[in-house]
Homo-oligomer: A and B are copies of this chain.
Amino acid sequence: MWPAFLDRYSGVPLYYQIQQHLLEEIRSGSWKAGRAVPSEQEIAQRLGVSRMTARHALKSLCNLGAAYSQHGKGTFVSGLKFEKNFRQVLSFSEEMRSRGTRPQSKVLQFRQAESDNEVAEALHIGLGEKVFVLHRVRLADSSPLCVECTHIPVRLCPELQKKFKPRMSLYKCLLENYGMQIDFADEVAEASLATAEEARLLRVPKKAPVFRFTRTAYLRNGKPVEFVRSVYRGDRCKVVNRLSRRMEFSGERAKL
């Protein structure tokens, strides 16, 4: 079926090479939904790796949502469009580009201020501690999509105001100047109506339907870095969510 494709001296982990290879077969559509993926045994023999390594590859494939395993039966292609499988934290720029639309943003304000209650709690800082406040209108293909108000503790990046240029991605700026990489974020969405001010900025009628988001973004170690309030046009935005019951081998599940 497949020839030996492993490169043992490339520095790329074997299980990862295997995972990528299987992923490619699935992604390209040559393996259809429900089809059995090669068994741990088979992978191990064919590629000359240990069963545990093959297993690791399959497990990581399952974690991505591209496949699922059944005890005693095998591992199967899951038949999901796994591009949509887990939402990544993308910066606005990245997200727009990944959809093929041209991102722009207009800075309304960039100033320092004192944290209010909600901001302080979200960012785990003291009430009144200094934060940068970056107020922007975000455009997609030259037409307004949302109004965003970002809060970042001054303490974490004291010279942000010098480093940050209006055209650049904030996340990129944080990464390159302070080594801070956003790893995950919590978002809360509410359905609401546009205020007069928001309606003007978004170019929609007053009381048009909008999403009101609050979002807290964290580093890998769980430290909050950014708190954002934003208002999205309801007619240009959908929120996609994957809900899952899965967790690592809940004993309860087996007993049901």
Q: What is the 8 Å Cβ interface bit string for chain A, positions 212-256, against chain B (1 contact, 0 not)?
A: 000000001110000000001010011111111111110100001
A125 CA / B79 CA spacing, docked (Å): 15
Q: Quick one: which of A66-101 are within 8 Å of B by CB?
A: 68, 76, 78-80, 84, 86-89
The answer to whether B79 touches A184 (Cβ under 8 A) is no
Among A135-143, A149-157, A159-167, A188-196, the stretch in contact with B: A188-196
Contact partner, A87, options B13, B181, B243, B251, Cβ 8 Å: B243
A11 CA / B247 CA spacing, docked (Å): 19
Contact partner, A246, options B184, B188, B207, B245, Cβ 8 Å: B184
Q: Quick one: which of A171-222 are within 8 Å of B by CB?
A: 175, 181-193, 207, 209-211, 220-222
The answer to whether A221 touches B191 (Cβ under 8 A) is no
The answer to whether B248 touches A60 (Cβ under 8 A) is yes
Minimum CB–CB distance for A238 against chain B, Å? 5
Residue of B nearest to A231 (CB): B191
The answer to whether A238 touches B190 (Cβ under 8 A) is yes
The answer to whether A240 touches B183 (Cβ under 8 A) is no
Contact partner, A191, options B33, B89, B175, B211, Cβ 8 Å: B211
Using CB atoms and an 8 Å cutoff, list the residues of chain A in contact with chain B.
12-13, 16, 19, 33-34, 60, 63-64, 68, 76, 78-80, 84, 86-89, 175, 181-193, 207, 209-211, 220-222, 232, 234, 237-249, 251, 256
